[in-house]
Amino acid sequence: MNDTPLARAAAVFQAAFGQVPSIQVQAPGRVNLIGEHTDYNDGLVLPCAIDYRTVIVARLREDRLVRVLAADYEGAIDEYSLDAPIERLEAPMWANYVRGVVRELVQRGLPMQGMDLSIAGDVPQGAGLSSSASLSVAVCRLFATLPGFEALSPVDMALVAQRAENDFVGCKCGNMDQISSACGVQDHVLMIDCRSLAVEPVPMPAGAAIMIFNSHVTRGLVDSAYNTRREQCETAARHFALPALRDLDLATLEARGAELDPTVLRRARHVVTENARVAAAAQALAAGDLARMGELMEASHASMRDDFEITVPAIDQLVGIVKDVIGKAGGVRMTGGGFGGCVVALVPENLVDAAREAVARSYTAPNGMRATVYVCRAAAGAGIVA
């Protein structure tokens, strides 16, 4: 049996609605190669869409109903009218991501139509690969197939999805995840300017695989730690009378750093140096220089560990195991908000098996679990599935 997300979504659709879907769209998950905690400081990030995705199949209705099937949740269904207030549900949570995007599109006055749709995906959930952004962007991309949506650009779709997550679901995320999913380019990473929203594709070096290692370290107290670090960054920017740490240069920080609380100084130094590393990483990848990319990823991890203090011993150990295998031939670092979660590595394809085996042999999470490993390629962004 073909158990792809597309096949699952189509099979559930036909069983429930007795028809074949006429529209098929997808939106990928993402991983951030470098650029951590820079987004809310108006900085630079370097993520890519990955070849794990959410797929939606659908068919237009002649009325104003929206009926949504979750193929991965035993065909659970949600139903509502485009002409009635769209309310947030206590459960199931997946339905709110769809409802939030639909409500945002309605509120923008776009020419919405009723649809039957079925959703399936293979983006790992809870692994920091943006399964929720993938879902939200896919919903927006689905309705963008309708007449009258031509002016909605990929970045616009990303911002619709972000606003739905912020205002309807209640997750105060930045825009990197949604922009990555909406704007991804096959075999490219994206240099995203989180201030201007400019997106610049950068080619991935040939022969490089993206490996993601889920440490299975549960991220505790992330919200409070995240908010504290955001406040510390804003404190530093205010001290220098700047809109954001994006506008602070390292020379000024080094010359006047003694004016700051030592902890605030370390937080600011991470952001300022991380922005520089992202810019350098884009140049390294464009030049096919995996060794230089490895140096930058190593420096990023050290900065997250020592200046931003968001790694944990198990994550540091996992990074070390992978680094011992790939040496200077690639790069590895923690990715995501911190305090657990995932490690990302750029690995020559001929070292993928060795890295996987070393982690299986040498790493065990504090809860006794082994790391889960995903091997990905940089994928295209949201679009119609032919």
Token representation of residue 115: 């649809």
DSSP string of 270-312? Answer: HHHHHHHHHHHHHHHHHTT-HHHHHHHHHHHHHHHHHTS----
- Give the 3-state secondary structure of residue 158: helix
How far is residue 87's CA from residue 81's CA, in Å, rounded to a whole number? 11
Residue by residue, DSSP assigns 206-254 as TTEEEEEEE-----TTHHHHHHHHHHHHHHHHHHTT-SSGGG--HHHHH
- CA dihedral for 169, 156, 280, 209, sign (positive or negative): positive
The tokens of 59 are what? 């068919």
Residue matched to tokens 């506008």: 247
The residue whose two tokens read 């922009």 is: 179
How many Cβ atoms from other residues are within 10 Å of residue 38's Cβ?
Answer: 28
Positions marked active-site: 177
CA distance 352 to 364: 19
